[in-house]
Every structure is written in C-alpha cells, then in structure tokens.
C-alpha cells in the first residue's frame, strides 16, 4: 500500500540517550511548548486536522462534512455530547480506504512531533473502519506502516483498540476479535468509548471482550465518568479491570471512589478543553482538574480530539497554567505522570524522563 511520507517531523529532540540540552524558555507558555511530552488520550479520527478533513471531504463528496474551511469550523461547534458523536461519525464516514487511515495517523504524528511529543498511545476504533468495508488485515497493515513512519519522524506509537460502546454486542466482539487475530505490531491496550449512557444494556458483552483482551496481555484503558457519574467509573474498575481511565472527572462526587483512586494510583486521562466543548463542564474555570490534583489523584493531561476542539496537547498544558495557576514545576510533574502512566518500554520512559528533567525551569 502506498503511503504518504510523514513530512517535516525532524525538528525534535530524540527520545534516546545523548539528546541535546534545550535552552531555558522565557515564560511558562514557552516552557509548555518546549516540554517533552507523552499523549495518552487521543482518538485517530478526532486527530484529523482541518486540512486533512477537508482533503477527505473533497475526496469523498456528497456527505454532511463541509468541503470549505469556514463551514467546517462551524461544523465543529458542538451543542452537546450526542451532537459531537454525530459529527464524529460523519468525519469517520470519510475514512473509507486503508490509505485514509494511514493519512490520519501520519498527519497526527506530524502534528504531535511539532509539539515535542515523544510517544503517543493512539486510540483506534477498528469497528468503525470495518463498517466502512475495510478488512481487518488492511486496517492493521495501514496502522503498522504509519507507526513505522511516525517512529522515523521522532514519535513512537502505541495503539489502543477501542469499542464504540453504543454499537453494542457486535462492536465488542468484533473489536476483541480484531485485537486477538490481526493486531497491529504496536497494539498495547484495549479501550471503551462512545456514549456512556448506552453501555449498560451491553455490559456482559463488553466485559467478555475485555476479559479476552486482557487475558491476551493487553492493558485495560476504558473511558469512564466523562458524561455519567461515579457509578460508571466503578464499573470500569470492577467490571473491566481498568488500569487507566479516560476522563474520570465525575469521581469527585464519590469520596470513597476518590480514596480508592488515590490509594491505587490509577491514572486518569484528563482532557479539559474536550470537556468544555462537549458540554460536560460549562467553562474551563469550572473544570475539576484543580480539585483532582488537590485530592492527590494521579492525573495526566491530554487533548482527546484536538482539531475538533481547537486545541493541542501543548495548549492543554498552557491552559493548565493560565486557568488553574500551575507553574512550570507542576507542568513538568504532569508530563512525568504521563510517562509513568504510559505503556512505553522502560528504556523509553527513562529517556523521556531524562529530557523532562533536563529542561530548565524559567527564571
């Protein structure tokens, strides 16, 4: 399969011993930009930049996704989470060929490299691609080639296969089957996303899928507590053996859950701008991130679906500084949390941590 080159991804400090020292940044915003990072919560379809989506919409015209930039940006103004899911599905419907999957991954890698991201765990929803007629083998081949190109450009990739929860039993079984029979080389985790309120009726099938995936050695990394209460977080912990949780922001409503998360050090993948854009919190100032940190929870910062939400991973660090008053040392601590919470190999973790420690704090 022909694959576009990743492009200008070489202006990054390599995440290997012997990296060059980074000059001291002059401000917290510059520090956030220079900070070596790990991204743990980003969705492949949601990582598509505006130019990439426009390219796909023009390649596959006739659907609801606009073909002009201004209209596309207006298309990304979400009323609530169901509306976001509708728009997300429309963009996914543009991904019809393995080459489209590869274009998404290589474009995302290019964007991440420009932000000094050294390692990404990219969430892929293979069932969505299968519904568009793509065979498992073709999807896996595209992901493998794209991961190799990303690594050559400075970004190491791990994949998480994600069940779209609202699609039910068939989606759960198909996702587990793909993970177990045709996995990409970089597959490290098994996840669960989509509309949380729709999951309960498919609980047994989802649990069975996770049991099979974790028995095969994949890490359990479901979403929970993004749009529902603490009961969803308890379900992914008790029913799915969650080792890391996407969002988890409703945990503060349950003191027993907060204590459990603090004691077990289960990492939470927090995405502040995403939560505002999908209507889970009214504005950034209302976001529970500061209270989660005050409670001693293991928090990481992430971007979720960055072009759809008008953000980047770097911007999430800057938001943490501007809105919540976190200083460079606290931002570096969050960056270290992401490294420790990742499934990067130990040598890779040591290398990224050394880069973070070597970055001088602003005067």
Residues serving a catalytic function are: 226
CA dist., res. 47 & res. 65, Å (int): 16
3 state DSSP class of 327: coil
CA dist., res. 329 & res. 18, Å (int): 23
- DSSP per residue over 142-172, as a string? HHHHHHHHHHHTT-EEEEEEEEEGGGHHHHH
CA dist., res. 122 & res. 194, Å (int): 16
Q: Which two tokens stand for residue 36?
A: 């070596």
Beta bridge partners of 154: none
Helices (H), 93-134: 98-113, 126-131
CA dist., res. 297 & res. 61, Å (int): 46
Element (H, E) at 233: helix 230-238
Percentage helix, strand, coil, to 5, in the chain?
A: 55, 10, 35
Q: What is the layout of strands, in order, in the sheet containing 299-301?
A: 223-224, 245-247, 268-270, 299-301
Q: What is the CA radius of gyration of the chain?
A: 19
Q: Which two tokens stand for residue 285?
A: 């100032």
Contact 127, 165 (CB under 8 A): no
Q: Which two tokens stand for residue 252?
A: 């503060």
Helix then strand count (H, E) for the chain reads 17, 9
Report the b/e string of 184-193 with b at 16+ CB within 10 A: bebbbbbbbb
């Amino acid at each position: 399969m022909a694959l576009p080159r990743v492009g200008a991804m070489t202006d990054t400090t390599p995440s290997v011993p012997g990296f060059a020292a980074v000059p001291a940044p002059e401000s917290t915003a510059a520090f956030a930009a220079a900070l070596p990072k790990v991204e743990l919560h980003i969705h492949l379809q949601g990582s598509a930049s505006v130019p990439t989506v426009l390219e796909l919409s023009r390649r596959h015209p006739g659907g609801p996704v606009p073909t002009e930039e201004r209209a596309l940006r207006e298309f990304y103004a979400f009323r609530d989470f169901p509306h976001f899911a509708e728009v997300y599905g429309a963009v996914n419907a543009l991904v019809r060929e393995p080459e489209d999957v590869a274009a998404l991954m290589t474009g995302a890698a290019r964007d991440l490299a420009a932000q000094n991201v050294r390692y990404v765990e990219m969430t892929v929803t293979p069932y969505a691609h299968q519904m568009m007629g793509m065979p498992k083998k073709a999807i896996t081949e595209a992901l493998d080639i794209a991961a190799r190109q990303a690594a050559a450009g400075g970004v190491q990739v791990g994949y998480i296969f994600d069940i779209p929860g609202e699609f039910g039993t068939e989606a759960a079984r198909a996702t587990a089957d793909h993970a177990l029979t045709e996995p990409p080389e970089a597959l490290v985790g098994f996840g669960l996303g989509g509309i949380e309120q729709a999951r309960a009726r498919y609980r047994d099938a989802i649990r069975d899928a996770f049991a099979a995936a974790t028995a095969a050695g994949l890490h359990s990394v479901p979403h929970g507590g993004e749009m529902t209460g603490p009961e969803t977080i308890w379900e992914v912990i008790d029913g799915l053996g969650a080792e890391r949780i996407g969002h988890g922001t409703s945990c503060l409503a349950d003191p027993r859950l907060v204590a459990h998360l603090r004691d077990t050090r289960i990492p939470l993948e927090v995405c502040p701008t995403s939560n505002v854009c999908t209507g889970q919190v009214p504005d950034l100032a209302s976001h529970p991130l500061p209270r989660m940190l005050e409670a001693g929870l293991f928090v990481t910062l992430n971007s979720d679906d960055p072009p759809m939400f008008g953000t980047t991973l770097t911007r999430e660090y800057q938001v943490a500084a501007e809105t919540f008053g976190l200083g460079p040392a606290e931002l570096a601590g969050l960056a270290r949390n992401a490294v420790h919470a990742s499934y990067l190999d130990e040598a890779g973790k040591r290398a990224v941590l050394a880069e973070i420690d070597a970055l001088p704090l602003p005067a």
